[in-house]
Structure 1
Amino acid sequence: MFHLWDSEIPQAVKDTGIPVSIMLWSTDQYKIDRFLQFAQPGYASHAAGYNEVNQVGQGQTSPDRAVQVWYQCLRPLVEKGYTLMGPVTTSAPDGYDWMVQFFNQCGGDCHVDEVPIHWYDVRFEDFQVYINKWAGFGKPLRVTEFACQNFNGGNQPSMDQIWQFTGQAINYLESDNRILSYAPFGFMDDMYNVTPDDRLFAFQSYGLSDLGWNYVKGH
């Protein structure tokens, strides 16, 4: 599945025929207006909202506001044939607390079908613990971003550590039936604030990097 950070599907993505999840990136009004323009019956199979709601500079919003916009923009899509993925948080500890508040306020008719997860850290064992914690919501999971990356002030992992994590992660994600899909970060040239060693595409040769091939073969 393609997980977009936007509500418009690029033509190149449409041409693949792979199911797509569009996203209401934030609760800002201009994002809402754009989302409602594209979120029509048959345009995509899934819709998600919102991106990293507990993070400044991302789709930061309160659980109250998130629930309000959810019922305005996302909940009506169920009747239009969409499967709904809930808001996604960073893997910082306050993300889980945010999601607990969201579910408590959203009520029985919320219709969150699947829960997306973002995770960035360096220890595979911590990745397992995190997934088990989020499985406690009782919903199927989609790991829509993850990488062996240190955002906690320490050194970035070595290439050997990244390869070790990758092998363990693939085996685990492929075997856990609570996880519907997973998408490592990232198949892109600009890795933003993630170490380039996690890059899965080798733009110099216009093909997959060695690490990218490892994910493809593992899958």
Structure 2
Amino acid sequence: MAIFDSVLFRRVKNSVGNVTTYVLNNQNVVRAKCGHHRDRKSLLQLKQRVRMKAIQEVCYFFYPALQVGFCCSSLKEGVNRFVKANVMKIGVDDELKVTFDWLDMAVSEGPLGQPALSAELDAEANSVLFCWERQALMPYAFDSDLLYGVVSEVGEMLGIVIPLGTRGVAGRLTWGLPDGWDIRQVVVHGFARNVAGSRTSGSLGLVAGKGV
């Protein structure tokens, strides 16, 4: 806002473009008009906005696995890499309704070969049974690679990362669910990681409860 005294502009009351002139307390005043911007978003933009919100909510349940699965030093970087890897897996229709598959979410990403790993949910024992086979050596699969399971209760609870064994030795492990977990809301993933902790495999979606 500017206040001035000019013979030429005395008593001027008008608007030009985004500038308004008027008289206040016998003084000439010039000020810019308040901007008014309407947030006109296309359907594609609205879908992407909904998609980003949804993937941030999904990401929450995998927080404990992200630094391990994406080989990074901070949770923030892990979240960013999770979002990048999974955001386009979120489906959004023209009514902005969201659909996705929990088992399709990637909790790890890297060049190593995926492990020969499976899992089953045991409702009676309230547990997860992991089984893995010894894999033949190949350029991106080594006997010393560590295997991990990621068990998440996607109703309310954060996931837990479970060390299982190594790629070079077959094995089984039964893991009991913590108190308060609903096995119908459980989702299980797995991946491999080298001993140095610098490379991982792609993520495996292993099993999901009936309520997911």
The TM-score normalised by the length of structure 2 is: 0.21
Select the structure of larger CA radius of gyration. 2
Higher relative contact order (CA 8 A, sep 6+): 2
Q: TM-score, normalised by structure 1?
A: 0.20
